[in-house]
Amino acid sequence: MDVRDDDQSQMFSRPERDRDVMKHWERVLNGEECSSDALRRLIDDSWRRCLNAHVDPGKYQAPPPLSENSLYSLQQKHGDLLSASTPVMAMARDFLAETGTIMVLTDHSGTILSLEGDHATREEGESMNMTPGASWSETACGTNAIGTAIAVRHPVQIHSAEHYCAGIKRWTCSSTVILDPYDSSVLGAIDVSGLHQTYNRHSLALVVATASKIEGRLAKHEMGIRFRLLERCMHRLTHSSGDGVVVFDRRGNPVKTNERAEEALNQLAVGRIGSRRLDIASISLGHATDDGLPAGLQGWIAPEWL
């Protein structure tokens, strides 16, 4: 078997091996050391993480979802991700309805932000708290595509018996992470799930393509913000009465300096903007509050600077 074949054998679930995987799961829970060609390394590693985290293998549902107010706050916090994802997820609506599946968007911790897809499957999912505000991290729900994709930071497909918790073994799911176009940190995950009979290898390709489109929309949005920021600050950069001016983005990362600030930064051995990170976490801006100002705004930052 060449490397490419081996990679594919690890990437995709093999439904025909479900019985062998189930037997392996039972032996693992009994504390037996055993190996099986039926079990992918991805699944074996995830099960071991679940064992070490003392995840209950008898679970039949995710923990209860957040309250309505807490969910609203979480969705506001991840407004950019939701805005970028909503139209992309809507494009998959027909495919989801035809295949009896749902598409799930989560934040970086695995908490569901929104769902799209087949109505009957959504109702099935609600019975195990696959609903906005519920956490589907590995520590909350054991091995599952959402939590495991976030844990390993790459696309995963989890089918039926490969799930760690008994109540989720009726399902098949494919997921991958959504990365921040600026620093490649994990922003969330996109997942396609359905009952085990809906298994389709192509679901993995769908989530990868969907994540790529979302990342593209996020990058375009971020570039637009930076362009408007520089446009608004151009006068201050060129008419600063001898003062050094550094323009920071909403994350606290420097975007542009004037000549005076560049000289000062060089004297401090900070280096040129863009060649070395000069992020100031204390000016990283949260989502807007009722007064229109970002949450957690530091006292030394004047509102007119924003």
What does each C-alpha distance from 292 to 58, 69, 288, 289, 306 come to in angstroms? 46, 19, 5, 5, 11
More confident residue, 149 or 225: 149
| The pLDDT value given to residue 3 | 34
Average pLDDT score over residue span 25-39: 84
Average pLDDT score over residue span 18-43: 89
Indicate the pLDDT class of residue 282, thresholds 50, 70 and 90: very low
pLDDT in tens, 91-107: 988 889 899 999 999 99
Least confident of 24-38, 119-133, 159-173: 24-38
pLDDT in tens, 194-244: 999 999 999 999 999 999 999 999 999 988 888 788 777 877 777 767 777
| The pLDDT value given to residue 302 | 56
Place of tokens 């989502």: 287
What average pLDDT is seen over the chain?
A: 86
More confident residue, 265 or 163: 163
Domains in the chain, please, with CATH? 3-219 (3.30.450.40), 240-305 (no CATH)
Report the distance separating Cα 166 and Cα 162, nearest Å.
10
Give pTM, 2 decimals: 0.81
- Name beta bridge partners: 247: 256
Indicate the pLDDT class of residue 140, thresholds 50, 70 and 90: very high
| The pLDDT value given to residue 189 | 99
